[in-house]
Structure 1
């Protein structure tokens, strides 16, 4: 398997963490999708990472699709439950975490994209995305409560998605001090960072 991605992308990190937790071998190919000479469109017509290229088959893209597929490849460390209700809960956690990252990416692009002049940037739009981020983080903290993990007592995709989202917020938005406000999330993140899968993929 070949994973195309970048070290800074939280979506790519989610896939890399799942790969590590599942003990799957793969080749990691760095790609800057913003570069003029990027070749990502040859694998993903949407021009986005992560993109998983399987030998002799079509490329697979969108982190949610990739991680669900990867969880079927090995019985080691099952991350997505088979039961419908528990499965829906884990996928909802993933959607929440991805939504926080989506809002963060939109906010950051509005603020930093070189294709837009300073006078063209919308503060109202950035404020709207930041509100989604802070609301999503608050929902994570409420959902976690005093549990050891997001979806019960074992590591699951819920925790991986949340950990990648929080790690990226720390990396790109250090002014959002979620640690001071939500001690339970800080405790979870510190616990996740003790795992090699997280420590080795820190942006």
Structure 2
């Protein structure tokens, strides 16, 4: 299998962690959806990551679809529970993935768009959405793992909290439950085998926020 995308992305990284969790060997093509847009479109018509090319050449896009496919292939190590914890897992995963989406969008606004062309209202809305999701998740991350064992909710939350800690630490703030959960995730072998890459982020054009942008 081939995984397309950069390891600063919470979506690409969660697929990589899932592959390690299930014991699936894979190659990676470290392409940026921005810098390598045309090359990414060769794998995904909309040019987004992650993309997983299977051994037979079939292609899967979207991290949720990929996680569900891997679960179906490896039921013994499935990340989706089949007991009463399923609702909680899906609720937490949904908000964590929405948080990741808004955090990546904010990165794009602050990194890709010239300052003179930024939309202050759009940025403010993203900030409110990020803060709201973080508060909601902080209130519900009282246990580690989140639902008795490592699930897709832990996977999504661990990846997005590390993303924020590395790229937008001022927006993550003092949220001890989320930081405790992220430390637990990062100590797991599948996370350690697929580390966040700041080097890939910088190579793709990411820069730290300025003091003005942090307000």
Change (3 A) 1:55 1:169: same
Q: Give yes or no for the alignment of 1:91 onto 2:90.
A: yes
Contact 1:32/1:38, CA 8 A, preserved across alignment = no
Secondary structure in structure 2 of the residue aligned to 1:72 = helix
Residue 47 of structure 1 aligns to a residue in which SS? coil
Residue 185 (1) aligns with residue 178 (2): yes
C-alpha displacement of 1:76? 4.2
**Greater relative contact order: 1 or 2 (C-alpha under 8 angstroms, separation 6 or more)?**
2
User: TM-score, normalised on structure 1?
Assistant: 0.88
Match of 1:149 among 124, 145, 150: 145
Two-structure CA RMSD over aligned residues (Å): 1.8
Conserved in 2, the CA contact under 8 Å of 1:23 and 1:76? no
How many Å separate the matches in 1 of 2:99 and 2:91?
12
Per-residue displacement from partner, 1:41-70 (whole Å, max 9, x unpaired)? 121101001001113343110001101111
Gaps of 5+ in 2: 198-215
If the length of structure 2 is used for normalisation, what is the TM-score? 0.84
Deviation at 1:165, TM superposition (A): 0.7
Correspondences of 1:70-89 after superposition (within 5 Å) = 70-83=70-83, 86-89=85-88
Q: Which position in structure 2 is the counterpart of 1:171?
A: 166
Equivalent in the alignment of 2:204: none
For 1:162, the equivalent position in structure 2 comes to 157
Give 2:196's match in structure 1, choosing from 188, 195, 202: 202
**Aligned equivalent of 2:201:** none
Question: Among residues 110, 118, 121, which one is paired with 2:118 in the alignment?
Answer: 121
Q: The residue matched to 2:169 in structure 1 has which SS?
A: coil
Q: CA deviation at 1:161?
A: 0.4
**Runs (5+) with no aligned partner, structure 1:** none
